[in-house]
Amino acid sequence: MSHLNLFVCAAILLLLTILSCGKKNDGASAVGTAKDYPVITVTQQRSTLSTEYPATIEGQQNIEIRPKIDGYIEQIYVDEGASVRRGQKLFLISAPQYEQEVRTAEANIRIAEANVRTAEMELNKVKPLVEKNIISKYELESAEFNLQSKKAVLAQAQAALANARTNLGYTVITSPADGVIGTLPYRIGSLVSSNTAQPLTTVSNIEKVFVYFSINEKQALEASRSLKGNSTAERLASVPPVTLILSTGVEYPHKGKIDAASGLINTATGSLRLRATFPNPDLMIRSGASGIIRIPTTIDSAILIPQKSTYEIQGKTFVYKVANNNTVTSAEIKTLENTGGQFYVVRDGLKAGDKIVLEGVAGLREGAPIIPKEVKNTAM
C-alpha cells in the first residue's frame, strides 16, 4: 500500500473518531440541559367543591311608607335605624281640614236624624186619617216616600262621617309590619302628600333576608341535569345548604337554602336569577347589603389538578404531560366553570394515571426533556 493510501485511511479514521466524539458530546449536552421539575400523578377521587357568586341582599319586606293625605309633618316618633313593631306610631300629619270635615259630618247627621224623626211623625199623623177615609191614600204614600228619602239622607251623612274619620285617621301613620326604619328624608314642618316623590321612610322586615345571585345559562342547564327531581321546586330542594360570605370576608354563621328561581333567562345578560333565604335572628344583615354565595357541589369521580400546573393560550387551558422518555407534551384540558379556589376540576383531556408537570410550566416547550421529581398531589 502506498504512502498516499495510508494517509487517506488515517484521515478517514480520524474524521470518524471526531464525529463519534461529537455525537457523544451532543448527547451529554442534551442530558445536561434537562432540569428538575416536580411532577404529580393524576388520580380520581370523591370531592366537594364550592362555587361562588356575587350576591345582593334584600329584606323579607321592604315597605315604603307614604302619606295618603296632604299636610305638614307635625311629629316624627322614630329615628333612622330604629326597630319598630307592627302598629307602632311613625308620623303625625297636621291636617286640620280633616278634623273640620268630621265636625261637619257629625252636624249633618244630627240634621238628618231630626228630619227622619219629623218624617216619622208626619207618617204617624197621616196613617189614622187614611184608615178613617178622611184623606186619600196618596197622602199616606207621600209620607212614606218622604220618610224613606230622609233615611237615605241620614245614611249618606253617616257614610260621609265614616269617610271623614278615615281621612282623619290617616293623619297618624303607623308601621304596617315589624322591621327597621330606613332613612328619613323629610323633617318636622315638611309639606307632604300622596304624590310626594320620596317616601317618608321605609320599613324593612329583616328577620329573614333574601340573597339574590345569578348563574349563566350553561350552568343552569348543567344544574338541571345533575339535580334530582321532576320539577324546579324538587330540584331546588335537593340543593345542599349554602353559605353566605359577608362583604367583610367573614362567613355568616347561619346556613341558607336556595328556594326560588326565575322563570326566565335574562336575554341581556344570558343569566338566570336565583334566591337563597337566610335567617337573620340578630338582625346582623341589613337590606341593601352585598356578599358572596358559596354553593357546595359533590363529585364522585373528580380529577383535580392545581391551577398553577396549567397555562392558557387563546382562551384554552393546557397542561404539560410527561411521556415515558421524560419529555413533555402539551395537552388541552376542559374544566368545570367557577370552581374557585386553587384547583381545577378536569372534565376532559386527562385520565387517572397521567403524569403532569406541577409548576414552572412557563419555562417549558413542546418536547422538552425534563428530570421528573414525583411529588404528592396536594389536591388529594
Task: Specify the number of domains making up the chain.
Answer: 4
- Cβ atoms of 320 and 356 closer than 8 Å: yes
In a domain, 323, yes or no: yes
Q: pLDDT value at position 125?
A: 83
Residue 353: HSE in the Cβ half-sphere, 13 Å Cα cutoff = 1
Please state, in angstroms and rounded to a whole number, the distance separating the CA atoms of residues 312 and 295: 26
How sure is the predictor about 32, in pLDDT bands with cuts at 50, 70 and 90?
very low
3-state secondary structure of 112: helix
CATH number at residue 177: 2.40.50.100
Say if residue 339's pLDDT is above 70: no
Please state, in angstroms and rounded to a whole number, the distance separating the CA atoms of residues 287 and 3: 106
| Listed residues 298, 325, 348: the one ending a domain | 298
- Cβ atoms of 298 and 46 closer than 8 Å: yes
Range of the domain at 184: 67-95+171-198
Alpha-carbon torsion (15, 20, 24, 29), positive or negative: positive
- CB-based burial label for 304 (10 Å; 0-12, 13-18, 19+): buried
Residues 165 and 175 in one domain: no
Residues 238 and 334 in one domain: no
How sure is the predictor about 29, in pLDDT bands with cuts at 50, 70 and 90?
very low
Pairing of strands 191-192, 257-261: unpaired
286-295 per-position pLDDT tens digit: 888 999 999 8
Q: pLDDT value at position 26?
A: 46
Alpha helices per DSSP H over the chain: 3-33, 96-131, 137-169, 217-226, 232-237
Alpha carbon distances (Å) from 74 to 79, 88, 95, 96, 194: 15, 16, 9, 11, 16
Q: pLDDT value at position 268?
A: 86
| Listed residues 298, 333, 348: the one ending a domain | 298
CATH number at residue 123: 1.10.287.470
In a domain, 22, yes or no: no
Q: pLDDT value at position 130?
A: 74
Helix H or strand E segment including 91: strand 89-94
Least confident of 101-115, 166-180, 238-252, 288-302: 288-302
Say if residue 59's pLDDT is above 80: yes
269-314 per-position pLDDT tens digit: 889 999 999 999 888 898 889 999 998 877 777 888 888 999 999 8
How sure is the predictor about 234, in pLDDT bands with cuts at 50, 70 and 90?
confident
Residues 211 and 293 in one domain: yes
Tell how far CA 103 is from the center of its chain: 52
In a domain, 29, yes or no: no
Mean predicted confidence (pLDDT) in 102-131: 88
Please name the residues in contact with 291: beta carbons below 8 A apart, sequence gap of 6 or more: 54, 55, 57, 211, 244, 245, 246, 247, 252
Residues 282 and 177 in one domain: no
Q: pLDDT value at position 10?
A: 52
Q: pLDDT value at position 140?
A: 79
Residues 74 and 124 in one domain: no
pLDDT higher at 5 or 138: 138
Residues 258 and 335 in one domain: no
Average pLDDT over the chain reads: 85
Q: Which residue has the cell 321605609?
A: 202
3-state secondary structure of 191: strand
Q: pLDDT value at position 301?
A: 78
